[in-house]
Structure 1
Amino acid sequence: MLVALAVALVAAFVVAPRTLAASGPDGGFVDKRDLTEALREAFVDYWSSGDRDFSPGLEGVVDYWFRYHVAKAVIAAILLIVLAALGVLLWKAFLRAGGLGAERRAALASAGVLVTMLAVFTSATVMANVQGAVAPFASLLPMLAVGETDGELADTLDQVRQRLADSLSGGDQAPPALEVMISDFSRYHVAMAVVAAIVAVVLIGMSVVLWKRFARTGSSDRRTRRVLGSFGVLSALLSLVVIVVVVANTTTAADPAPALLAFFEGGW
C-alpha cells in the first residue's frame, strides 16, 4: 500500500501542481515556455512602469508561481511521510530477517537504502519548494536571465545590472522595482536559511538518538549496530551539509545586492 501510494504521489508531484496552480483567477500556462514568455513580457512592463507594486501581468505570474510551489511542497511533504514510514518498515524487516536467506536480506537492505535516498532527495525538494512559495518573485528570476535574451528584455536586464552596480559602487538610490527585487531576493535566502536550520536541528537530534541506541545495543547484535551506526553517520553528515546551506544563505540574505548582481551577470 505504501509503495503504491508513493508511486501515486510521485506522479501527482509531476502532473498535479500545474493544474492546481491554474485554478486561480488568472488561470495557468500551457508549459514552461509559455510561463517564461509571460514572465519576461510582464517584467519589462513592470520595470518600465517605475512603480513598486507589481503590474497586473506580473502579479498574475507571481501568484501562479506561488500556488505552484505550494502544491509541490504539500505533495512532496506527504511523499516524505510515506517514504519515512516505508523506510521504517523495510529496516525493521531487515533487522528481523535473521532466519531468511542471504538474497532476501540483500533485497530488504537494497530497498531500504533506495527508500532512504529517495527520502533525502524528497526532503531537499520540500525545502526548495517552501523557499519558492515564500519568495515566488525571486524564484522566477532565473527564467529572466537563463537562455536567449534580446530586444526589450535584453535592454531591461542591462538597465537592472547597471542600476544594481551603481547602487553598490556609488550608493545611488535604487529604483522601486529594484528595491522589491533585492528585498524578495533576501527573503528567498532567509526562507532557505530558516528551513535548513530546522532540518539541521532535526538531523542532529536524530543523530544523537541513534548513537545513544547504538551504544546501548549489545555487540552480539551486529546487524542492529550496523544499521544504527550507518544512520547515525548519515544524519551527522547531512546535518553538516545543511549547516553549510544555512551559513551560505544567511550570508547572502544579510547582503543580497552583490549576490543579485552576480546572478544577473551569470555568476550565480
Structure 2
Amino acid sequence: MRSPAAPSRAPSRSAGIRGRALAVLAALAAALLAAFLLAPRTLAAAGGSGDGIVDRRSLVEAFREAFAAYGMSGERGFSPGVERVVDYWFRYHVAKAVIAAVLLVVLVALGVLLWKAFLTAGPLRTGARTALASAGALVTALALFSLAVVMANVQGAVAPFSSLLPLLEVGAAGGALGDTLGQLRRQLADSLHGGDLTSPALEVMVSDFARYHAAMAVIAGVVAVTLVGASMRLWRRRARAASSDGRTRRLLGALGVVSALSSLAVLVVAVANTTTAVDPAPALAAFFDGGW
C-alpha cells in the first residue's frame, strides 16, 4: 500500500533542487564580481607590452607622457609609447567585457529562478515572498548594471585610444602635455571654421573618436531592440496569464515596464552617440577644452 505522504515528496525535492541552484548561482555571481574587480589588470599585463603599468597612476603617467609626444610628432601611426598603453588598455577592456558578460548570464539565470520561486511561494509564506521579491529586484538591477558595463567595455575595446582620453585630465594639464593640447585645440578650432587638419596625428584622433562613438551607437541600438523585444514578450505573457493570478500579472507588468524604460534610456544613448560619430570634431574640441 502506497504511503499517503509520498505525493508531498516531489514538491519538497523540487524546492531543494531550486535552493541548491540558487546557492550555486549566487556563489558564482559573487566569484565573478570579485574577478571583475581584481583580474582585468593582471590579465591585461599578461601580454607583456604593458610593462611598467602596474596601477592606475602608472597608466595615467604613461599615457600622458606618450600622448604629449605623439600629438607633436606629426606622425600618423601611434608611437611605441602610445601603442604600448593602447594595447594594454585593449586587453583590459576585453577582460572586463568577457567577465561582465558571463556575470550578466549568471545574473539573468539567478533572476529567473528567484522570480519563479517568488511566484510559486505558498500563500502563507509572506516573509519568504518578501525576501524573494527583494532578492529578485536586486539581481534584476545588478543585471541591468552588468549590461551597461558590458556595453561600455566593448566600446572601450573597439576604440581603446579614445577610451584613454579621459585620463589626460585636460583641465589640469601643463608642461609638454599642455603645449600639445593647446596645439590640438588651435587646429581643431581652425578646422571648425573651414580650415583643414594639418596634423596626421589629430586626423587619427578624430577618426578614432568617431569610431568610439559609432561603436556605442551600434551596441546601444542592438541592446535597445533586444529590450523592446523582451518588454513585448513580457506584456504578451501578462495578457495570457489568468486574471485570477494577480501576482504573476503584476510581476510581468513590472518587468515589462522596466524593460521598456531601459530601452528608452539606451535609445537616447544610441542617438547621442550617432550624432557625435557623424560629426566628431566639435565633440573632440569640446573635450580638449575641458568638457566631454
Q: Tell whether the structures are fold-level matches, with TM greater than 0.5.
A: yes
Paired letter, 1:8: A
Asked if the contact 1:145–1:264 (Cα under 8 Å) also holds between the matched residues in 2, the reply is no
Q: Which has the larger radius of gyration?
A: 2
Paired letter, 1:23: A
- CA shift at 1:146, angstroms? 4.7
Residue 57 of structure 1 is matched in structure 2 by: 81
**Which of 200, 224, 228 in structure 2 is aligned with 1:200?**
224
> Structure 2 CA distance, aligned partners of 1:125 and 1:116?
14
> Structure 1 CA distance, aligned partners of 2:169 and 2:151?
23
Asked if the contact 1:164–1:174 (Cα under 8 Å) also holds between the matched residues in 2, the reply is no
**Which of 28, 31, 39 in structure 2 is aligned with 1:8?**
31
> Structure 2 CA distance, aligned partners of 1:169 and 1:267?
20
> Structure 2 CA distance, aligned partners of 1:76 and 1:246?
21
Paired letter, 2:270: V
Three-state SS of the structure 2 residue aligned to 1:49 is coil
Show CA shifts across 1:51-98 (max 9, x none): 000000110000000000000000000000000000000000000013
Residue 105 of structure 1 is matched in structure 2 by: 129
Residue 54 of structure 2 is matched in structure 1 by: 30
Three-state SS of the structure 1 residue aligned to 2:290 is coil
Asked if the contact 2:170–2:289 (Cα under 8 Å) also holds between the matched residues in 1, the reply is no
Paired letter, 1:129: N
**Which of 141, 156, 162 in structure 2 is aligned with 1:138?**
162
**Which of 148, 155, 162 in structure 1 is aligned with 2:172?**
148
Show CA shifts across 1:127-157 (max 9, x none): 0000000000000011113563211111111
Residue 72 of structure 1 is matched in structure 2 by: 96
Residue 17 of structure 1 is matched in structure 2 by: 40
**Mind listing any 5+ residue stretches in structure 2 that lack a counterpart?**
1-23
Three-state SS of the structure 2 residue aligned to 1:130 is helix
Corresponding position: 1:259 with 2:283: yes
Corresponding position: 1:177 with 2:201: yes
- CA shift at 1:100, angstroms? 4.2
> Structure 1 CA distance, aligned partners of 2:128 and 2:285?
55
Asked if the contact 2:93–2:156 (Cα under 8 Å) also holds between the matched residues in 1, the reply is yes
Root-mean-square deviation (CA, aligned residues, Å) is: 1.1
> Structure 2 CA distance, aligned partners of 1:184 and 1:72?
21
Paired letter, 2:97: A
Show CA shifts across 1:197-252 (max 9, x none): 11011101111111111111111000000110001111111111111111100000
Paired letter, 1:37: E
- CA shift at 1:170, angstroms? 3.1
Three-state SS of the structure 2 residue aligned to 1:73 is helix
Residue 113 of structure 2 is matched in structure 1 by: 89
Deviating 4+ runs (over 3 angstroms)? none
Question: What count of residue pairs does the alignment treat as equivalent?
Answer: 268
> Structure 1 CA distance, aligned partners of 2:171 and 2:45?
25
- CA shift at 1:178, angstroms? 0.4
> Structure 2 CA distance, aligned partners of 1:170 and 1:104?
67
> Structure 2 CA distance, aligned partners of 1:45 and 1:267?
22
- Report matched runs for 1:222-261 at 5 Å: 222-261=246-285
Show CA shifts across 1:79-126 (max 9, x none): 000000000000000000134421110000000000000000000000
Residue 142 of structure 2 is matched in structure 1 by: 118
> Structure 1 CA distance, aligned partners of 2:97 and 2:217?
17
> Structure 2 CA distance, aligned partners of 1:200 and 1:25?
37
Three-state SS of the structure 2 residue aligned to 1:9 is helix
Asked if the contact 2:188–2:197 (Cα under 8 Å) also holds between the matched residues in 1, the reply is no
> Structure 1 CA distance, aligned partners of 2:109 and 2:195?
54
> Structure 2 CA distance, aligned partners of 1:252 and 1:155?
26
Residue 14 of structure 2 is matched in structure 1 by: none
> Structure 2 CA distance, aligned partners of 1:109 and 1:263?
43
